[in-house]
Amino acid sequence: MNSPLFARWRRRKFLLAAASLAGWSAAGAATEAPPKQLRIGFQKSAVNLVILKQQGALEKRFPGTTVSWLEFPAGPQLLEALAVGSLEFGLTGDSPPVFAQAAGKDLVYVGAEPPKPLSSAILVKPGSSLHTLADLKGRKIALQKGSSAHYLVVRALDKAGLAWSDITPIYLPPSDARAAFERDSVDAWAIWDPYYAATELDIRPRTLATGQGLSNNNSFYLASRAFAEQQPQAVSTLLAELSRADGVVQGQRKEAAQLIADFSGLNLATVHLFLSRRPSSPAAPLSATTVADQQRVADAFQRLGLIPKPVKVADIVWQPGRARVASNNNS
């Protein structure tokens, strides 16, 4: 996975994507005025966005635009704000967009980062009697409803041959879930970084499973449909800046970790731990492989009756060329 050949392939893929975005952006620049406002939703796990915020990079790239940053505890809350017009752009894990699409929210996928299967986990206390996924039967599991942790639990139960009805999900946001976990009100907790890393260092839980072999734990950038269609150049610029920020994380780890710690209040040990299992994560439009992977997430939730209807992920995937045509036709 980390062979020199794979590293060269990954770098080539990133450079080709960046060149494509840059070329397309230059072509569209003359026909699009910059946005008047850009409200960005993010979480502590949104590393590239945090770097941009701490650097003031978007304020420099969008002179004259009022850039606002709004932090959310998890993806479902962020996408609700996006759907009601309180945001233009944000980052979530794999599950929140599925629930939003099933609920008819008017938003679109505009970008994705590579998979991060090691960045989420199902945790149990050190002295817990749970040692296998099959041991989850009859247990209470804390998780944020509609989050990437939700899908991780779905896949874990599938692997163990258990039904969703075999467990009792306790739906809590991360801070409340940790409190419940610490006081033994639940038997296990499904969570993502940096909450996962902070808990590892603070209370030394056992990791029952990570996403490895269960969930790719993909991260997605989403935008309101109006913003994506009317500001395709701005979306392209955002993806390019996010990829630049990832270069800072990969090449200037000490400086990046300090920026993240200064923003989040997390100690540097926690930041370095969660960054250590985060692969290089440039942002790019969704590939066919990523769309197919996300469709599997949607299908899993639909089979369990956790979303009210089937959804076709491809229906809300932004197509830069089409967006540009639509923008030009409406000018």
* Domains detected in the chain: 4-115+218-329 (3.40.190.10), 117-210 (3.40.190.10)
CB burial readout 269-286, b (16+ within 10 A) else e: ebbbbbbebbbbbbbbbb
Higher pLDDT, 49 or 325: 49
What is the per-residue pLDDT across 93-121, written as a single tens digit (0 to 9) for each?
A: 999 999 999 999 999 999 999 999 999 99
Contact (CB, 8 A) for 274 and 119: yes
Query: Is pLDDT of 25 > 60?
Result: no
Tell me the sheet residues that pair with 207: 123
Q: Which amino acid does the sequence have at 109?
A: Y
Composition of the chain by helix, strand, coil, percent to 5: 55, 15, 30
Q: d(Cα 164, Cα 261) in Å, to the nearest integer?
A: 37
Sign of CA dihedral 107, 246, 322, 37: positive
Sign of CA dihedral 276, 57, 50, 148: negative
Could you tell me where the DSSP H helices lie in 161-287? 174-182, 195-203, 225-230, 232-251, 253-264, 268-276
Q: Which amino acid does the sequence have at 18?
A: A
Mean pLDDT value of segment 237-242: 96
| The pair of three-digit structure tokens given for residue 36, joined into one six-digit string | 């008047």
Residue 17 pLDDT: 46
Q: d(Cα 98, Cα 293) in Å, to the nearest integer?
A: 12
What is the per-residue pLDDT across 27-65, written as a single tens digit (0 to 9) for each?
A: 344 467 889 999 999 988 899 999 999 999 999 999 999
Under the banding of pLDDT at 50, 70 and 90, the label for residue 82 is: very high
Q: d(Cα 242, Cα 227) in Å, to the nearest integer?
A: 18
